[in-house]
Amino acid sequence: MTNDTTIDETELKTESRTARFAQWLMDRESKRQDKDSNLEGMLRFNIFLSTATLVAVAGSTVTQYVMMAYTWL
């Protein structure tokens, strides 16, 4: 009987360690997914801002060339 009790306690400790490790892995993956979603949002905003800046600069340059061409006529 003592031998059975020792085996049960060892199995419980092992399951407990395994369960804790599994929980730690799931928590880590959850944090990684949150971080990835934040990075994706920042990347999309960066692309939007870069495109808007290029459009603004190109629009300003085109406007200047159109005004110069108009004044030459």
Sequence spans of domains, the chain: 1-73
Predicted confidence (pLDDT) at residue 1 exceeds the cutoff of 60: no
Task: Name residue 5's amino acid.
Answer: T
Q: How far apart (Å, rounded) are the C-alpha atoms in residues 40 and 36?
A: 6
What percent of the chain has pLDDT above 70?
A: 79
Interval 11-21: pLDDT, tens: 556 668 888 88
Phi, psi of 26 (to 5 degrees): -65, -40
pLDDT confidence of residue 14: 60
pLDDT digits 0-9 by tens, 15-73? 688 888 889 989 988 888 877 777 888 888 999 999 999 988 888 888 888 888 888 87
